[in-house]
Structure 1
């Protein structure tokens, strides 16, 4: 068993989802808090100095805490019913890379070398509060602190309340220029969330760019009523309009080269089997390399949604929840990664990452590790032991070369 696989094995029962399969580890849930404790214990066992900043980001320092350090890491939270590797692979590989660097006699922070830190970012998936990469957005100031504080989960808990319950000061959430200055360069290792490396027959790739993407919320309002006593001709059923909006999203995206549009979450209110819904909320994810095309796809879907709602006697509103433009990684750092890993191809990503948020503020880069199923955000997500070993060794090579 590889060292990375062994580390992941220690958390293999944390957050298992019996109904969905896979793992459900939303930020500040019992499962995610257990994973944070696991990481802190593993970091301290390696002699790393650990602290948690005002936005809930965990920092584990190999060498003195200082500005312009080399930083690596990922996240531990998951989507509902997600796979075992999305996030935790990058964290476990970073810990294993620290072991490898120590075995090689590399001492960050000494003999002219920069310090090294391993980080864990909270709420990368946005599965609890609806905004992906919330921790890195807060760190950089990419999200307004008041907006973040007032975000609410499905149970009505605000992000400020959850943060306070977990030892943070809600008033101090937000842009942290001192913390950001600690990062001279950021490298995130992540399981690939597609078939690129399968088709390239390569175990690792260097990231080229991240597709522009965003999340929008449609609220369709109609007339709640009794399912048995209300004639079909007398209904203003928002669920029917919602169904048409979902189909419109699929058709609009399919007609536009390289576009992706997904409705993965829908909530009828009140949600009874024998009740015509009074309101339906659905969330749309749209992605495309060209940000103008992303905007045009959303606009077209919105236009068709207005027609669908009107035809059913309903109304519809559209709210943008988050938007990240297409992000290219630092060219100088990318060239260094390609020099250190000359056999690795360059691969663009359709998935968002904390490294993509940080890339707008500092030199950031990513490494993708092969996923033999090509499936992610699902229990079928996979990484082979040999590639997990390779991930840690290659990450150590990169970190050593950049120190």
Structure 2
């Protein structure tokens, strides 16, 4: 890795070796894994080095406060992001926002800013949902968008419950759930994130303000058939759920293509028991659907579900469909977005198809986002990138925005 050329690049370089995935490439940093815990320790050390005291709340969110005037924390300006990743993800999705928050604090102090409101820095757990299946789980628990009972009973691919894994990480499962006190501390939330598309590449701009997040959700389709021996079972005697599941995957693409603006993806498919010489007894596949119009999202999922039932029946199988998470389309606070745009001299406004903690918080507090250019336009992949210069430009933009909001 090249030597960092900016302060933000230096922060990212310090964690560049954490969570590398030798099999998939990129980084695998699921929540509460060794890699993710190492990143949290790095973050807490960076906060401590700046004279801030990190604290982990009952939902696993790590907070710190810059409050030199000793003001009440209610109504503070808050910024931050996440440190977990998808399997084999990029280096910048999440950590860029965390590093930029630290760098922005340094810039504010260097400018001699005297905040009239406290500044909070936050890191949210399980934003990607890569381990327990529900994206933005930390912010959903904070706001009550998901119940503690449901969250604690979620399981990872190895059968570990969220409750057990959280307990091993030092958290008390009895404390999970909506936190009115923590919510009251957030007067406004600004999240910086690497762009997960090529909007800024096409506009030849390093930074943008977010306008909206597409409505999106995740559904689990469980196709049930009959497990049997691969060598002794004639083709005509099979009830193969994997064959039915493969037909559903093709139908997903066809239904999405018939509904303009829809993004529909099957990114994970898991046969049970998964033996090479075994006809599966069940296949689970996970469907991700996104569209600006929530009614279209619902209609697309309903149509795919109908096709799944029919296609499964054609192979002598059945199918169950379960919603795992659903987030409606989010339009960020327009007045706040205009204020950010004016502060930054009229930077572009971009919609995004990616979900974020800022989108969950938007239903409860004024929320905004900044995007920093990704020259590849690729995300959730080792090809995701951000130059040191653009990373620094994003940190400066975040500092400018925070300075204005802290008046």
Length-normalised TM-score, structure 2 = 0.97
Of 190, 197, 205, which residue of structure 1 is paired with 2:200? 197
**Does 1:17 find its partner at 2:21?**
yes
Rounded to whole Å, the distance in 2 between the matches of 1:181 and 1:66 is 8
Of 89, 95, 101, which residue of structure 1 is paired with 2:96? 89
> What is the deviation of 1:107?
2.8
Q: How does 1:108-119 map to 2 (within 5 A)?
A: 108=115, 113-119=116-122
> What is the deviation of 1:160?
1.0
Rounded to whole Å, the distance in 1 between the matches of 2:55 and 2:228 is 53
Rounded to whole Å, the distance in 1 between the matches of 2:362 and 2:346 is 24
Rounded to whole Å, the distance in 2 between the matches of 1:264 and 1:166 is 28
**Does 1:29 find its partner at 2:33?**
yes
| Segment of structure 1 superposing worse, 29-38 or 41-50 | 41-50
2:378 counterpart residue number: 375
Query: Is there any run of 5+ residues in structure 2 with no aligned partner, and where?
Result: none
> What is the deviation of 1:342?
2.2
**Does 1:70 find its partner at 2:77?**
yes
Rounded to whole Å, the distance in 2 between the matches of 1:198 and 1:362 is 30
2:399 counterpart residue number: 396
Q: How does 1:198-277 map to 2 (within 5 A)?
A: 198-277=201-280
SS in structure 1 opposite 2:54? strand
Q: Would the aligned equivalents of 1:212 and 1:291 in 2 still touch at CA under 8 Å?
A: yes
| Segment of structure 1 superposing worse, 158-167 or 318-327 | 158-167
Query: Is there any run of 5+ residues in structure 1 with no aligned partner, and where?
Result: none
Rounded to whole Å, the distance in 1 between the matches of 2:114 and 2:172 is 34
Rounded to whole Å, the distance in 2 between the matches of 1:91 and 1:330 is 22
Of 3, 9, 19, which residue of structure 1 is paired with 2:7? 3
Rounded to whole Å, the distance in 1 between the matches of 2:33 and 2:245 is 30
**Does 1:326 find its partner at 2:307?**
no
SS in structure 2 opposite 1:49? coil
**Does 1:41 find its partner at 2:41?**
no
Q: Would the aligned equivalents of 1:49 and 1:62 in 2 still touch at CA under 8 Å?
A: no
Displaced runs of 4 or more, over 2 A: none
What RMSD in Å do the two structures reach over aligned CA positions? 0.7
1:347 counterpart residue number: 350
Length-normalised TM-score, structure 1 = 0.98
**Does 1:52 find its partner at 2:56?**
yes
CA distances 1:246-278 after superposition (whole Å, capped 9, x unpaired)? 000011111111100000000000001111000
Of 301, 306, 314, which residue of structure 2 is paired with 1:303? 306
Rounded to whole Å, the distance in 2 between the matches of 1:91 and 1:311 is 49
> What is the deviation of 1:199?
1.2
Rounded to whole Å, the distance in 1 between the matches of 2:354 and 2:331 is 13
> What is the deviation of 1:343?
3.1
CA distances 1:12-33 after superposition (whole Å, capped 9, x unpaired)? 1100000000000000000000
Q: Would the aligned equivalents of 1:194 and 1:375 in 2 still touch at CA under 8 Å?
A: yes
Q: How many residue pairs end up in the alignment? A: 399
Of 378, 381, 384, which residue of structure 1 is paired with 2:387? 384
Rounded to whole Å, the distance in 2 between the matches of 1:190 and 1:214 is 20
SS in structure 2 opposite 1:100? helix
CA distances 1:212-259 after superposition (whole Å, capped 9, x unpaired)? 000000000001011111111110000000000000001111111110
Rounded to whole Å, the distance in 2 between the matches of 1:155 and 1:70 is 39
Of 143, 148, 154, which residue of structure 1 is paired with 2:146? 143
Q: Would the aligned equivalents of 1:210 and 1:350 in 2 still touch at CA under 8 Å?
A: yes
SS in structure 1 opposite 2:265? strand
| Segment of structure 1 superposing worse, 196-205 or 283-292 | 196-205
Rounded to whole Å, the distance in 1 between the matches of 2:286 and 2:159 is 18
CA distances 1:72-96 after superposition (whole Å, capped 9, x unpaired)? 0000000000000000000001100
1:133 counterpart residue number: 136
Rounded to whole Å, the distance in 2 between the matches of 1:358 and 1:87 is 16
